[in-house]
Amino acid sequence: MHTCPNCFKDLELIKYIESNSIVTGNCDFCGTKSALLLEIVELLDFFEDFFNVFEADTKGINMVDIIHNDWHLFKNKTVTKKFIQGLSLLIDYPYDHQKNRIVKVKYVPEITDNVSYWTIFKDEIKWQQRFVLPLENLKELGWDNFFNDKVEYKDNVSLFRARIHHKENQLAFGYNEMGCPEKESANGGRANPQGIPYLYLSKELETTFYETRVLFKDEVSVGEFKVINGEYVYLVDFTEEASAFQGFNSPDSLVRYTQKILLKQEISKDLSKPIRRYDSEIEYIPTQFICEFIRYMSKVDGIIFNSSLHANGKNIVLFNFEKVSCISVKKYVIDSLKIKEQILS
Q: Is the pLDDT of residue 276 over 70?
A: no
What string of DSSP letters covers 148-168? --EEEE-TT-EEEEEEE-SST
pLDDT for the residue 188: 86
What string of DSSP letters covers 312-324? T-EEEEES-GGGE
**Residues linked to residue 219 through DSSP beta bridges, in sequence order:** 333
3-state secondary structure of 20: helix
Give the count of alpha carbons within 13 A of 183, CB side only: 4
* CB distance 313 to 212 below 8 Å: no
- Going by the DSSP 8-state scheme, the letter that residue 135 receives in this structure is H
Neighbours of 162 (CB within 10 A): 23
pTM reported for the whole predicted model = 0.88
Neighbours of 5 (CB within 10 A): 21
Whether residue 94 has a cis bond before it, omega within 30° of 0: yes
CA neighbor of 159 nearest in space, from 306, 308, 295, 316? 316
* Alpha carbon 108 to chain centroid, angstroms: 22
pLDDT bracket for residue 31 (50, 70, 90):
very high
* Alpha carbon 115 to chain centroid, angstroms: 14
Q: Is the pLDDT of residue 53 over 80?
A: yes
Percent of the chain with pLDDT over 90: 70
pLDDT for the residue 308: 85
Q: What is the mean pLDDT of the chain?
A: 90
pLDDT tens-digit map of 109-163: 999 999 999 999 999 999 998 887 778 889 899 999 999 889 999 988 999 999 9
Task: Show me where the domains of the chain are located.
Answer: 2-107, 143-333
Q: Is the pLDDT of residue 231 over 80?
A: yes
**Which residues, 6+ apart, have CB-to-CB distance to 89 below 8 Å?**
none
* CB distance 213 to 232 below 8 Å: no
Query: What are the C-alpha distances in Å from 310 to residues 146, 204, 235, 280, 307?
Result: 27, 10, 21, 23, 6
